[in-house]
Amino acid sequence: MFTGLIETLGVVRAAGTGFLEIGFTVKSLELDIGESISVDGVCLSITARSKEWFRAEVSRETLVRSTLQRKRPGALVNLERALRLGGRLGGHIVQGHVDGAGRVTNLAAGLNQMLVWVEPPKRLMAYIAEKGSIAVDGVSLTVAGLDTNEGCFSVVVLPLTREHTTLQSVKVGESVNLEVDVLAKYVERLLDAKREAAAVKERISLDLLQEHGFF
């Protein structure tokens, strides 16, 4: 589990079939073999490490759902270690389970901020709420606006966030990893379960009525 507060930037040293090797840029992180780390919002497990770099395995499912399949040597990535029990939850609950890749559609510079518009996969729009939380490339951000007609949302990126994350160089047309708020997914599942239970109850009632000759 993560918070969406990026600790440092990494740089891809090597990318191959099923693995990424990432070096540290600004500062090194103390890592252990088997530890979880968020790479651009994707939870990966460390398989090898030194003071200057680490290696992590990347599954086929992860490559299909995220932008990691496009990472080449020299690419910058956001890094965050897993949240320690009892630590501060300064962002929001981020699992590191990317729901899909979105496309940056517009950038608008403002006073001490940048407004970024993102078009997510259509299936994710129902989970995105104005003033709600969303992780973009692992960065915890607040949804500033929704455009349901265009099927996109906006987030405000402040100078400190731009300076310390890969959002400093984001461009229109680029793909970004998106993870919607897990609470929205649980609410949907609870509602689905209630509808399923009601449907089963209705079928049982009709069967009983038919069995006893009511129709």
pLDDT tens digits along 43-59: 999 999 999 999 999 99
**In this structure, are 176 and 204 located in the same domain?**
no
What pLDDT sits at residue 206?
A: 62
Percent of the chain with pLDDT over 90: 70
**In this structure, are 138 and 163 located in the same domain?**
yes
**In this structure, are 161 and 112 located in the same domain?**
yes
Question: For residue 22, what pLDDT band results from cuts at 50, 70 and 90?
Answer: very high
The last residue of one of the domains, among 53, 81, 109, is 81
What pLDDT sits at residue 4?
A: 94
Other Cβ atoms less than 10 A from the Cβ of 99: the count is 22
| Domain assignment present for 89 | no
| Domain assignment present for 142 | yes
**In this structure, are 66 and 120 located in the same domain?**
no
Question: For residue 193, what pLDDT band results from cuts at 50, 70 and 90?
Answer: confident
| Domain assignment present for 86 | no
**In this structure, are 137 and 188 located in the same domain?**
no
Question: For residue 183, what pLDDT band results from cuts at 50, 70 and 90?
Answer: confident
The last residue of one of the domains, among 81, 112, 141, is 81
Q: What angle do CA 34, 74, 179 make, to 5 degrees?
A: 55
Quote the domain boundaries for residue 138. 100-181
What pLDDT sits at residue 205?
A: 63
**In this structure, are 195 and 206 located in the same domain?**
yes
| Domain assignment present for 205 | yes
Average pLDDT of the chain to the nearest whole number: 90
**In this structure, are 117 and 177 located in the same domain?**
yes
* pLDDT tens profile 109-168: 877 899 999 999 999 999 999 999 999 999 999 999 999 999 999 999 999 999 999 999
What pLDDT sits at residue 16?
A: 85
Number of domains the chain contains: 3
| Domain assignment present for 157 | yes
Question: For residue 89, what pLDDT band results from cuts at 50, 70 and 90?
Answer: confident
What pLDDT sits at residue 43?
A: 97
Range in 22-26, 175-179, 194-198 with the lowest mean pLDDT: 194-198
Average pLDDT over residues 85-103: 89
Question: For residue 185, what pLDDT band results from cuts at 50, 70 and 90?
Answer: confident
Other Cβ atoms less than 10 A from the Cβ of 28: the count is 16
| Domain assignment present for 94 | no
| Domain assignment present for 50 | yes
Question: For residue 15, what pLDDT band results from cuts at 50, 70 and 90?
Answer: very high
More confident position, 202 or 4: 4
- CATH number reported for the structural domain that contains residue 52 in this entry: 2.40.30.20
| Domain assignment present for 88 | no
What pLDDT sits at residue 201?
A: 65
